[in-house]
Structure 1
Amino acid sequence: MPADMPLAIEVVTQYIEEQSEPSKGRYLFHYSLSLTNVSHHTLTLKRRNWQITDGNGEQMQVEGAGVVGETPTLVPGQTFRYTSSVVLATPLGSMTGYYTLEGDHGALKAAIPRFQLSVPGALH
């Protein structure tokens, strides 16, 4: 199994204006991920590790067990979807990281491609 591509990852982001307070430097974003097992092995998502960067270049590391309280097991071809959120101090930012998975051949990492978080109209 190629260690660099066990999952196909798709991300959709959304700015949550009604729960944000720009005057206080609080911008809430939801991010929805679809994780599809593209390997030939059953995989269990054990951990996540995020690097979150705001528009000022300030970085925050977030890591822990599973995602949204779950450690899903995906058979080949199966997709798991979840939505989570992050609060930034700026109207722009990005996230990247990796998932730690366990399969037949031990633990491996699946890179999460960097994605942007932005208030509509903040980018030209």
Structure 2
Amino acid sequence: MKRKGSYEAETRGIRVRVTPMYLDGESAPEEGRWIWAYHIEIENRGEAEVQLLARHWIITDAMGHVEEVRGSGVVGEQPMIGPGDTYAYASGCPLATSSGAMQGAYRMVDEAGVSFDVTIPPFSLDVPDARRVLN
């Protein structure tokens, strides 16, 4: 497992930090399969409790193929995140190319019942130490 730096975005006092990791031991480049894990921390810097209701991911591979993933919550949960609290989880993403990118949004609802989207920052999925070729 090889880590890259982290990526951050903040929306309405909710900070999202993503740290992607290439899983070379689970990848099989000779079979056209590259696997990444990513660790996400969602910190509530606001003054009201929020609940994460849904996720929307946009995954783009090196060939420009885009896949959108929508679903309820994250890793089977719809966590409540109080002021000053952080919720963290890990998940993964397979790609058919050696690089790509992900970004998206979480649908949240606050104590007053107001729904809003929180940005998941764009982050790159690049095999560490890979030779870069300009097209």
* TM-score for the superposition, normalised by structure 2: 0.85
User: Does 1:12 find its partner at 2:19?
Assistant: yes
Structure 2 counterpart of 1:83: 90
Contact 2:53-2:78 at 8 Å conserved across structures: yes
Q: Supply the distance in 1 between the matched residues of 2:126 and 2:42 (Cα, whole angstroms).
A: 22
SS at match of 1:23: helix
**Structure 1, unpaired ranges of 5+:** none
User: Does 1:63 find its partner at 2:66?
Assistant: no
Identical-residue share of aligned pairs (%): 34
Q: Deviations over 1:41-77 (max 9, x none)?
A: 1000000000000111110000100001111100111
Contact 2:18-2:121 at 8 Å conserved across structures: no
Q: Supply the distance in 2 between the matched residues of 1:50 and 1:37 (Cα, whole angstroms).
A: 21
**Structure 2, unpaired ranges of 5+:** 1-9
Contact 1:92-1:122 at 8 Å conserved across structures: no
Q: Which one-letter code corresponds to 1:66 in the other structure? A: G
**Aligned positions, number:** 122
Contact 1:6-1:110 at 8 Å conserved across structures: no
Which consecutive segments of 4 or more residues in structure 1 shift more than 2 A? 3-6
**Residue 123 of structure 1: how far off its partner (Å):** 6.3
